Amino acid sequence: MSAFNASHVDLNTASQEDILCYLALSENEFHGQLGARISSIFVIFITSTFCTLFPVIAKRAPRVKIPYHAYLFARYFGTGVIVATAFVHLLEPAYSSIGPNSCIGASGDWGDYPWCAAIILTSVMTTFLLDLGAEVYVDYQYGIQRNDDATEAFITQPCISTSDSTSQDMEPGTSLPKNAEIHTEVASLQSERSFRKDIAAFLILEFGILFHSVIIGLNLGVTGDEFATLYPVLVFHQAFEGLGIGARMSALHFGSRRWLPWVLCFLYGLTTPISIAIGLGVRTTYNPGSRTALLVQGVLDAISAGILIYSGLVELMARDFLFDPDRTKRRSHLSVMVGCMLLGAGIMALLGKWA
């Protein structure tokens, strides 16, 4: 790089790495507007925390009288937001930072193998193994035994709905089970078992989003001329992501752990503001366009992309629309759910034009 002269480029001797790194690497561009940057800490904290808490409060506080359709919108709009975040806000930036057509991807060992794709694949598989491990562990803890031919039966035999199995234990002419207390205890155990499985998947999802929130917070604190555009875009970006996290959190049955949703909501709400504050603290020394920064950002974005791709497609879309036995049979309701999801994905993908 030291011998490369951008004013007199000879394409016969210049390397791809020289040209790509010259175009990609930059200096610290911080140019003031400290007051506006400090305000972003509080604005993003308030909006992201409020949007994360909204679905949780809507589900758990009937006295607030938030319309059911508002909750429904938040849940499926959030699904679309998370899926779009995975592909537009994480996958593409990861390739821009460490992909084959980037400065890092064309340098040394990074140019000998598609490392960006490998990191994303590893992240997807690791997330799957953690998800599977959590389910197997919870089944083991609750003494759930599965037959050796369970997979074959699942594939070849028709499903029996939960309503059919429950109706077998009902007294004729009544709406209560024969052994109400036993059924209440079983329901409680099933709810706890379901929570332990679901909370593991949710924590993985939030972990992937928090990675991304750290990077964008740091960059907002030190960015240059792009700050005026990036600031409002990130307010909406974090608000929509928060809506998605909150909608998923609201579906979990926390039971006596009433404090946990608040902790998780504030954890998301605080991550980006704290990162902005850190960025302001190192505003004259941190350079998001340096080789080291691009490498770290690319790796973290690739890891987060893998987590959100798996979580978005498997845990959210597939589980809600394809494998949910209680999914609504009314086509109008299903259309609204899908429409909300597409709207969330479309708006979040549009925000990718600026951030």
**CB 85, CB 289: distance < 8 Å:** no
pLDDT at 327 over 80: no
CA–CA dist 254, 265 (Å, integer): 14
Other beta carbons less than 10 A from residue 254's beta carbon: 16
**Lowest-confidence region among 2-16, 24-38, 318-332:** 2-16
pLDDT band at 31 (very low <50, low <70, confident <90, very high): confident
* pLDDT digit string, tens, across residues 89-137: 999 999 999 998 888 988 888 888 999 999 999 999 999 999 888 888 8
pLDDT at 299 over 80: yes
Contacts of 191 (CB under 8 A, 6+ apart): 253, 255
Contacts of 214 (CB under 8 A, 6+ apart): 271, 272, 275, 300
**CB 120, CB 94: distance < 8 Å:** yes
Can you tell me which residue has the tokens 């989003």? 209
pLDDT score at 187: 60
Can you tell me which residue has the tokens 């309503």? 163
The type of residue at 7 is: S
What's the token pair of residue 85?
Answer: 């975040």
Please compute Rg for the chain using Cα positions. Answer: 24
* SS3 (DSSP) at 279: helix
Better-predicted residue by pLDDT, 282 or 302: 302
Q: What angle do CA 256, 257, 258 make, to 5 degrees?
A: 90
Single out the residue of 2, 13, 112, 29 nearest to residue 286, CA to CA: 29
Highest mean pLDDT among 62-66, 75-79, 210-214, 338-342: 338-342
**How many percent of the chain have pLDDT more than 90?**
33
**Lowest-confidence region among 174-188, 250-264, 336-350:** 174-188
* DSSP label at residue 149: T
Q: DSSP assignment of 33-101, as one string? A: -HHHHHHHHHHHHHHHHHHHHHHHHHHH-GGG---HHHHHHHHHHHHHHHHHIIIIIIIHHHHHHHSTT
CA–CA dist 54, 71 (Å, integer): 8
204: Cα separation from own chain's centroid = 8
* pLDDT digit string, tens, across residues 234-247: 999 999 999 889 88
The type of residue at 330 is: R
**CB 249, CB 261: distance < 8 Å:** yes
Other beta carbons less than 10 A from residue 94's beta carbon: 25
CA–CA dist 15, 4 (Å, integer): 9
Count H helices and E strands in the chain, helices first.
12, 0
pLDDT score at 212: 87
What's the token pair of residue 105?
Answer: 């991807």
Better-predicted residue by pLDDT, 341 or 3: 341
pLDDT score at 164: 45
The type of residue at 303 is: I
Single out the residue of 281, 310, 279, 270 nearest to residue 125, CA to CA: 310
**How many percent of the chain have pLDDT more than 70?**
83
